[in-house]
Structure 1
Amino acid sequence: MNGAPADPTLLPSVPASPEPQRTDNHNDDSGHDGSSSSNSSSVFVVPESSSSSNGAARVRDGTTSIMAGIGNVSEEASRQPCQLRAPLVVTIVGLPCRGKSLASHKVARHLSWRGESAKVFTVDKNATAETLRDISLFFKEGNNIAIIDGMHLTRATRQTVANFCCDSVYHQLLIEFTCNEKCLQENIEDTVQFYRQHDPNIDWERRFREQNMEHTSQFEPCSALEGPLITVNNSEDPMYHSVTARGVRGAIQTAILGVLASPVIRQQTFYFSRHGESEYNVLGRIGGDADLSPRGMKYAERLARQLGGPGSASDCPRPKLIWTSELRRTIHTVQSIPGPRAAIKDLNEINAGICEGLTYEEIQERFPQEFAWRDQDKFKYRYPHGESYLDLLQRVDSVVQALLTNTDVLVVSHQAVLRCIMAYFKGVKPDDVPYINVPLHTLLVVRSYGYDFVVETVPLKVECVDTYRIQPKNCSTSRTTADALTTVPAHFDAPLTQQMSTIS
């Protein structure tokens, strides 16, 4: 529906929006003129056509109607103004077993993790009137992205969704999936294995291949005139996975393009751990570049035995890649684990700014108002000269994207960073991210399971301090010191040298 840009003189006027601005900068789908692409070299952006053909009607945002020969959008709909923050309807197109559903849920998960309100609407073949009603209700509740996971093989079925979007003043994006024969065979085998669990007496592979041949004869590939279009040629091999985009615009559509640029790997396992207990953990201090405490060193040895290091069993998991932050406590935690490693700046702990190296007691004493403000909204609060969890979520986006193109990766990082990463796999809303519990001396094993991920918690039973702090009931700037510190975890107040001799 949003195809080639029209002559600006033909565009309808856009009334000023009464909506207040959001504090984040990644939800504006108005975008810019021209095409968009992700950073991946596998994405090719096709220039938009400067004119329409076959008498296609100009629609609300000055772009070309769906396609010739099917019928144009109504004249009334063509006069609708383009809302800068209008909801987005993503129509999934493609034959069965092309990886559509897995990619749809991957896109929805990523957008929701970034603070959008995205949902996958699964249909058998095409969006029905009931589907479109459900999407309207979904948008009326304040949500902004609907992904229709179906086949939509013909232009007529896609026209139905396009008319719905135009009449309701919604943005639309088409995503068409294809794959090579090798990928198709692998997808069929996975699907057959699933259905055999329900009825082993049916020849599911034969049924799927017959259905695939039937649908192939009906399939009409998407036209460039149908609107913004992303075409994905699916493959788990990055050398054969490719994405082409045309007419993509705005932050949300560009983010979707970025997610689709990476191949979807069906079976994945990841290992996550905080560094071993540090000297600052023992003293209750935040940030800094402290080294491991004696108990932290013991945890490093235990973690190595768990993951292929000295003293490990022959059948234990062995990570193919090891990623740490640039700070000493993470690097020293993995020093005995074999495998290629990289110290990544984006995995560094949240920057506490003027509060770096302080205890919570010292922060309350020196900056009581800042301490209260952080308790009021821990996700969006930014340390003076430092970072917020919102900043951190944006920082680790590239790490998560890189993770999803691999498997068997060990990531050793810090509490706030791992909260942001685990929020992706657990589907946690942004406001709840700062309260995800990621304890010290615990290995988190994440495995893909269908469209979802399963997280296994493996405590390695090495004693350590508890650094988890819940939100206090009283977050007022006028609260007492006792109220402010009521949920601060216990730590040693003794000098470091004295404390070390006590626990060694």
Structure 2
Amino acid sequence: MPGAILNHGPTSTKDLGRKRAQSQASDLAKLVMSSNLPPPSTAASSTASSPKISADGENNSQPIKHVDGLLPPPALANGSLATALNSLGEIIKRDRIAFDSPFALSNASTAPGSPRIPPVRQNSGTQTPRVRPHATTLNIPGMTRSKVSPDGRIAPRDVAAKLVIIMVGLPARGKSYLTKKIQRYLSWQQHNSRIFNVGNRRRIAAGVIHKPSSPHQLKKTETPEHTAATILLNGGHDKPDIDEPTKLDLDDTTQGNGEPIDQSAKFFDPNNEEAAKLREQVAIDTLDELLDYLLLQGGAVGILDATNSTVHRRQLIVEHVKAREPKLGILFIESICHDENLLEANMRLKLSGPDYRDKDPVKSLADFKARVKAYESAYVPLGEWEEKNDLQYIQMIDVGRKIVNHRLTGFLSGGIASYLTTFNLSPRQIWITRHGMSVDNQQLKLGGDSDLTEQGHYYGLALHRFITHKRKEWLVNQKNKIARATFPPQRGDHTPPYPELNKELDEKNFCVWTSMLKRSVQTAEYFDADDDYDVKAWEMLNELNAGIFEGMTYEQIAANYPEEYEKRRKDKLSYIYPGLGGEGYLQVISRLKDMVREIERITDHLLIIGHRSVCRVLMAYFMDLTRDDIADLDVPLGMLFAIEPKPYGIDFHAYQYDEENLWFTEVPNYKPQKTVNINN
């Protein structure tokens, strides 16, 4: 039996090869027939004629060459396999489809020198897809990547993933507060976003505020509505609160004699046709600027901050957006307030704003309440019209005590809705500092998990003493503010109280969060020994992982890996350290997203003992830093930062460690700066 097999081996092998070829030809022929092509012509040479579609759509017959390893050898040129393969070549050439056949692979050459033809970017549809018809999946800068979006941001062609946010609500309902929080959160995640405030442009149009000659001429106004810390980073500029109007002419919006238009409650009466026409024109002009930002300037989210309290106005806005670009996403966000304390705080804020600044507070309050009544007479909350037209919306009631979502689509809308659930206006302090001096710090090494030095342990002691003192001091000051508060406020009183009864000030907890690295945990050892503090270690607070550079100095990296050193120097924000586990700042932002939501949610005081990259990223969120400043923010050892959320923004203070006295001294008028050391 073995001999018989050996004697007939060659013949059997030949028969198997023939059967295999016939089977392949049959399958390929079926594929050709299913494509509805005309019957293929037999080819006796190594080329076949195939239609070629030119740029203008005309068909030009051009020969296609057989690719080594993919088409049959000349010996089989007249067989059925050759016919099928040549027809298959016509399909590939004509329709430009990618075909990866197991039969082609079985005939492919395995020689090391076999050519590989990379795919050419093409359009498999009937038209060039200039925009995507639906919102795509997640775009996370630093965590996702594609050819059209190498950095992970929303690509210009993904118009449906972009978002027009339209705020809705009566005056003094916290709409501007919400817009600033949403914009800050989206920008921190590296999505290009901008607020377009109709009220600011209305004031310019009505002559209440003079039109600036350039976007940078008008600086932040020093009112509670805009007293969040101003960031100047080595030559940076204050962000103007009012963008230069591009459609309105100030001369056309005065009363003929050059006097500004009356901005009292009568101006907002729905029966005042002239004023209504002006307000509608300002709203549409502002919307046009927003659409230009999204469609022409690379924006991802534009927020239209206005009352938009009638169905007519909202319908007008939707039609205007759809006429410009029907695939843009539209999200309505309505702020509703029933809480009297919340309304009082918001009204106090309005009384010290640009419409009533330096005016009698009692008269101003009466006028403002009349303005609200004018809006209420025509106000229609979100609901029936939006649902009938299948529009997505979020209703936020009493700053997150109740949230209603309808028809949310797209990752941005879902993320915003989730973020809004974390809001609270509880009075509290958030402290941020780096750990004490570690052994690796002394040796200028990156990363690692070394212990604190003796100096570092003393820093932890001083930190516990100082925070305990400031905690008691804050409680006394808060109670004094509540006792002195009056409504309407006295002239010059620009600090509205928190919109809460503050019944739990004495019982307010104090959390201390550290990373899981020893130098951070050890800095909190005195807090951990004090039952008045709740200490917890978080892995997401760990220092940025330097990959293969862990334990090295920057001088060693520059000497041994000059190309990597230069890449990091040119773009620290996007740079990722090479090697297993290596991270960059965008990765740190991504892993701290849930932590930021938790910081916003809790009502307790909080101290975070982190690391340089972590502190930079958290400071960037609270201080609304641009992406160009995050990775270069100067956060040296020994600095302690205090952030106190307010209904209008934040109060910010910085303290420097006094090693000799084991204490901290406040740095007056501190402004975050860029680090002077390019290695840090």
TM-score by length of 1: 0.72
Match of 1:136 in 2: 291
Asked if structure 2 preserves the Cα contact closer than 8 Å seen for 1:183 and 1:234, the reply is: no
Shift of 1:412: 0.8
Cα distance, 1:280 vs structure 2:
0.6
Alignment pair present for 1:352 and 2:479: no
Using the alignment, how far apart are the partners of 1:371 and 1:147 within structure 2? 39
- For the residue of structure 1 that corresponds to 2:129, the secondary structure is coil
- From the superposition, tell whether residues 281 and 90 of structure 1 become closer, same or farther in structure 2 (CA, over 3 Å): same
CA positional deviation for 1:313: 9.2
Distance apart, 1:214 and its partner CA = 3.4
| 1:115 CA drift (Å) | 1.1
Tell me which of 171, 174, 179 is aligned to 2:329: 171
Q: Which residue of 1 is the match for residue 642 of structure 2? A: 445
Q: What residue is the counterpart of 1:402 in the other structure?
A: 598
Give the direction of change, closer, same or farther, for the CA distance of 1:275–1:281 in structure 2 (3 Å limit): same
In 2, the alpha carbon distance for the partners of 1:134 and 1:313 equals: 46
1:307 is aligned to 467
Matched, 1:112 2:187: yes
Does the 8 Å CA contact 1:325/1:412 hold for their aligned counterparts?
A: yes
Native 8 Å contact 1:265 1:404 kept in 2: no
Deviation at 1:392, TM superposition (A): 0.6
Residues 328-348 of structure 1 show CA distances to partners (whole Å, capped at 9, x for unaligned) of: 211221222341121111111
What is the percent sequence identity of the aligned residues? Answer: 25
CA distance in 1, matches of 2:338, 2:286: 31
The answer for the alignment partner of 2:626 in structure 1 is 429
Q: What code does the residue aligned with 1:255 have?
A: G
SS in 2 for 1:258: helix
Counterpart for residue 520 of structure 2:
330
Q: Does 1:95 align with 2:253?
A: no
> What SS class does the counterpart of residue 259 from structure 1 fall into?
helix
Give yes or no for contact 2:179–2:305 (8 Å, CA) kept in 1. yes
- Whole-Å separation in 2 of the counterparts to 1:462 and 1:14: 69
1:231 and 2:387 equivalent?
Answer: no
Pair 119,13 (structure 1): closer, same or farther in 2 beyond 3 Å: farther
Measured in 2, the distance between the counterparts of 1:248 and 1:313 equals 42
- Structure 2 segments unaligned to the other structure (5+ residues): 1-124, 133-146, 200-278, 476-507, 663-672
Structure 2 residue 129 is matched with structure 1 residue 16: yes
Match of 2:18 in 1: none
Compare CA radii of gyration and give the structure with the larger one: 2
Q: Secondary structure of the equivalent of 2:404?
A: strand
Q: CA deviation at 1:200?
A: 2.9
CA distance in 2, matches of 1:14, 1:305: 69
Distance 1:174 1:15 in 2: 31
**Which residue type is aligned with residue 200 of structure 1?**
D
Question: Residues 268 and 308 (structure 1 numbering): CA distance in 2 closer, same or farther, change over 3 Å?
Answer: closer
Quick one: which amino acid aligns to residue 392 of structure 1?
A: V
How far has the Cα of 1:295 moved from its partner?
Answer: 1.3
Instruction: Map Cα deviations across residues 26-62 of structure 1 (whole Å, 9 max, x no partner).
Output: 6379xxxxxxxxxxxxxxxxxxxxxxxxxxxxxxxxx
Q: Which residue of 2 aligns with 1:458?
A: 655
Give the AA of the match of 2:339. E
Q: Is 1:194 aligned to 2:352, yes or no?
A: yes
DSSP 3-state at the match of 2:461: helix
> What is the match of residue 278 of structure 1?
438
Structure 2 counterpart of 1:320, one-letter code: F
Between stretches 346-355 and 140-149, larger displacement belongs to 140-149
Distance verdict in 2 for CA 1:23–1:242, change over 3 Å: farther
**AA partner of residue 464 (structure 2):** A
* Native 8 Å contact 1:153 1:219 kept in 2: yes
Change (3 A) 1:368 1:15: same
The answer to whether residue 412 in structure 2 is matched with residue 252 in structure 1 is: yes
C-alpha separation between the residues in 1 aligned to 2:418 and 2:193? 16
SS of the residue 1:307 aligns to: helix
Residue 231 of structure 1 aligns to a residue whose secondary structure is strand
Secondary structure, counterpart of 2:526 in structure 1: coil
* Kept in 2: contact 1:305–1:313 (CA 8 A): no
Matched, 1:341 2:535: yes
Matched pairs, number:
404
Q: 1:290 to 1:14 in 2, by over 3 A?
A: farther
Name the structure 1 match of 2:612. Answer: 415
- Code of the aligned partner of 2:616: R
Alpha-carbon distance in structure 1 between the residues aligned to 2:374 and 2:421: 29
Aligned residue identity for 2:636: P
Q: Which residue of 1 aligns with 2:449?
A: 289
Is the CA contact 1:123–1:148 (under 8 Å) kept in the aligned structure 2?
yes
Are residues 1:389 and 2:548 paired? Answer: no
Cα distance between partner residues in 2 of 1:411 and 1:313 = 15
| 8 A Cα contact 1:90 1:147, kept in partner | yes
**CA contact 1:347–1:413 (8 Å) conserved in 2:** yes
Give the AA of the match of 1:405: R
SS at 1:448 equivalent: strand
Relative distance call for 1:91 and 1:314 in structure 2 (3 A) is closer
Moved more, 385-394 or 335-344: 335-344
Q: Could you tell me which amino acid in structure 1 is paired with residue 180 of structure 2?
A: H
Task: Give the secondary structure class of the aligned counterpart of 2:315.
Answer: helix
SS of corresponding position for 2:468: coil
Which residue number corresponds to residue 155 of structure 1? 311
Q: 1:411 to 1:400 in 2, by over 3 A?
A: same
The residue number in structure 2 matching 1:211 is 371
TM, length-normalised to structure 2? 0.54
Aligned residue number for residue 19 of structure 2: none
CA contact (8 A) 1:446 1:456 kept: yes
2:59 equivalent in structure 1: none
For the Cα contact (< 8 Å) 1:88–1:171, is it kept in 2?
Answer: yes
When residues 254 and 265 of structure 1 are mapped into structure 2, their CA distance, relative to the original with a 3 A threshold, is same
CA RMSD of aligned residues (A): 3.2
Larger deviation, residues 369-378 vs 314-323: 314-323
Aligned equivalents of 1:231 and 1:98: distance in 2? Answer: 15
CA contact (8 A) 2:351 2:361 kept: no
Alpha-carbon deviation of 1:181?
A: 3.2
Partner SS for 1:418: helix
The separation in 2 between residues aligned to 1:335 and 1:449, in whole angstroms, is: 31
Cα deviation digits, residues 146-190 of structure 1 (max 9, x gap): 111111111110111111211111321111221323454344454
Is the 2:161–2:410 contact (alpha carbons within 8 Å) kept by the matching residues of 1?
no
The answer on whether the counterparts of 2:337 and 2:343 sit within 8 Å (CA) in structure 1 is no
SS in 1 for 2:641: strand
Deviation at 1:93, TM superposition (A): 0.8
Q: CA deviation at 1:440?
A: 0.3
Take 1:304 and 1:289, find their aligned partners in 2: how far apart are those partners? 22
Counterpart amino acid of 1:324? Answer: T
Q: Which residue of 556, 565, 580 maps to 1:371?
A: 565
Identify, as 1 or 2, the structure richer in helix.
2
Contact 1:27 1:252 (C-alpha < 8 Å) held by counterparts = no
Contact 1:89 1:173 in 2 (8 A): yes
Q: Conserved in 2, the CA contact under 8 Å of 1:94 and 1:176? A: yes
Alignment partners' CA distance in 1, 2:471 and 2:547? 43
1:235 deviates by 3.0
In 2, the alpha carbon distance for the partners of 1:322 and 1:469 equals 27
Rate the CA distance shift 1:457–1:191 in 2: closer, same or farther, 3 A: closer
Between the aligned partners of 2:564 and 2:307, the Cα distance in structure 1 is 52
What amino acid is aligned across from residue 539 of structure 2 in structure 1? K
Q: Is the 8 A contact 1:234 1:263 kept in 2?
A: no
Q: Deviations over 1:246-294 (max 9, x none)?
A: 2222222222222222224275531100000111100111111111111
Instruction: Supply the distance in 2 between the matched residues of 1:400 and 1:436 (Cα, whole angstroms).
Output: 19
TM superposition shift of 1:368:
3.1
| CA drift at 1:134 | 2.2
